[in-house]
Amino acid sequence: MYLITVFGNLIIILAVSSDSHLHTPMYFFLTNLSFVDICFISTTIPKMLQNIQTHSKVITYGGCITQIYFFLFLAGLDNFLLAVMAYDRFVAICHPLHYMVIMKPTYCVLLVLMSWMMIVCLFYCTILGVYLSSASLQSSHSSTVASVMYTVVTPMLNPFIYSLRNKDIKMALKRIIGVPVM
């Protein structure tokens, strides 16, 4: 699942980067989402795979804090990018004639930068709530299943949901591998 996620998201980044027809706001946001999904899944899965291989569940305190920081940071960034992508589609559907004026490249970059920044503030403002609240009582099995669902499955499905079913991405991929496009 990890390899499928990384490979699928890298394909999207490669397709969008190499095809000038895909240099639009929608695909700019999609490329950012793919990059964040690769980083997101890479914060926990390699350590988990190492733990499974070595039959050890040991992690240093510093490693744990670092992993939690990047996990929460990238999860929040993923959510903000999805919100920006929803806004992009809203503008495209509701204001199609003004789309290129509203979603100009500088505005798109600003929206992505704001997502990177509306995450730093959110992380540091809510971190006190996380540390001050009591731990909930859940079974470890249900916690594990829930963790795998949002940690692994969601980033793995994003390439399929958002782009690999998209005809523009399919045509770009065909151009990359040298298949004639009609």
**Predicted confidence (pLDDT) per residue in 114-148, tens digit:** 877 765 565 555 554 555 554 554 455 555 665 66
Residue 93: the pLDDT is 92
Residue 164: the pLDDT is 64
CATH number, domain 2-177: 1.20.1070.10
Mean pLDDT of 26-38: 92
pTM: 0.75
Q: Where are the domains of the chain?
A: 2-177
25-64 burial, b at 16+ Cβ within 10 Å, e below that, comes to bbbbbbbbbbbbbbbbbbbbbeeeeeeeeeeeeeeeeeee
pLDDT digits (tens, 9 = 90+) for 52-75: 888 888 888 888 889 988 988 898
